[in-house]
Amino acid sequence: MATASEPDPAAVWLTIPDGYAELPLTDIKATTDATATLIDGLGTPQQQHAAGYVLNSLTVLLTLLRDRRAVYCGLGRHRSAVDGSPITSSLVVTLLDFPDTRNPKLVLRDLLDAEARTGAPAQVDLVDLPHGPALFVERTRLMPTPTLPGQHPLTDDQSPVWQLTASIPSPRGDRLATIETTTPFADHGPQYRPMTVEMAAALSFTPPPEQNPLDALLG
């Protein structure tokens, strides 16, 4: 697969679903430091106790995502369609630029080969969207259960995490956008399928046409 270059965040256009709060991918340390100051002055004792650990971990995570060419990261809170309980998820969009043009199906073929080599169980679907092919990979992983300061983690304590990744190459095969939806509420994960598919279907590598202001006035 071709070596990726640094992406231009304005090189992909998509609609972020309701319920997601965007996290910073620039000025990360300044933002988390400002948040720490706010919590120190207004937070509860429990929040103040946990803030340092949580914000330091968040800084590391966001820096890692930025270095992996993420152009969007958000945390979501929704009501489960199953039982109405509150559930959370994360949404990450990355964009890779390649130096050469290529058939987009060959880009996805490389991804399929890489997925097969992992040997990890997953539901893999190659789908033709209106703007071209896309690859969807759905899986549930066992991940270490996170703990907060003062908690005593159990040895090898793990929790299931549901994840759906959509990979969408540009029509020229010189860019690859990836949408990754993840939730620790694994049993509720499938309800994020339509949202992720709709995002992938609407994603564009070209800017939308400028709307004439008169169109909105005249209907």
- The confidence score (pLDDT) of residue 6 equals 44
Q: Is 30 exposed, middle or buried (0-12, 13-18, 19+ CB in 10 A)?
A: exposed
Distance CA 107, CA 167 (A): 10
CATH number of the domain at 9-23+71-147+157-207, please?
Answer: 2.60.120.1690
Per-residue confidence in pLDDT tens, the chain, 219 aa: 333 444 455 578 999 999 999 988 988 888 888 877 877 877 777 777 777 777 788 888 888 999 999 999 998 999 998 889 999 999 999 999 999 999 999 999 999 999 989 888 899 999 999 889 999 999 999 877 766 555 555 556 788 999 999 999 999 999 999 999 999 999 999 999 999 999 999 999 988 777 555 554 554
Per-residue model confidence as pLDDT tens digits over 182-213? 999 999 999 999 999 999 999 999 887 775 55
Q: Model pTM? A: 0.82
* H or E element that contains 86: strand 86-97
